[in-house]
Amino acid sequence: MSLSAALNWGMAEGAVYLWTLPMFHCNGWCYPWTLAAFCGTNICMRQVTAKAIYAAIAKYKVTNFCAAPVVLNSIVNASPEEVILPLPHVVEVNTAGAAPPPSIDC
C-alpha cells in the first residue's frame, strides 16, 4: 500500500507531504512509510484550516497532500484573507472516501 499509493499518485523522491488527513486514517496510515521510502518530508499542522494549508504550501514548498472532501471544500471556499495566491508551484492533491463536492472539479 505504501509504495503503490506513491507510484500510482506519481509521488517523487524528496516529496514534501502536508498532513491534512489523519495518520490513522485508512488512506493515511501508509504515507509515513511512503515518505520514508522516498526520502520525503512530513509537514504537520496543529489545525487544518484553509489559511494554514495555503501558508504551509508556500512556506514549506509542499508537493503533495491528501484531503477529505470537506477540507478541499474549505480550501476552494476560503475567504481572500485566508488565501495565499498565486501558489508558487503545482501541488498534487489526492482525495478519497466520499465523492468530492461539485465545486471540486477533478
pLDDT, one tens digit per residue, over 12-54 is 899 999 999 887 776 677 888 889 999 999 999 989 999 999 9
**Which one has a higher pLDDT value, 11 or 43?**
43
- From first CA to last CA, the distance across the chain in angstroms is 23
Are 30 and 4 in contact, with CB atoms under 8 Å apart? no
Q: For residue 97, what pLDDT band results from cuts at 50, 70 and 90?
A: low
Cell of 26: 485508512
Task: Give the C-alpha separation, 87 to 97, whole Å.
Answer: 26
Cα dihedral: 29, 26, 87, 9 (round 10): 90
pLDDT band for position 99 (50/70/90)? low
pTM: 0.84
Domains and CATH numbers, the chain: 2-94 (3.40.50.980)
Beta bridge partners of 41: 16
Mean pLDDT of the chain: 85
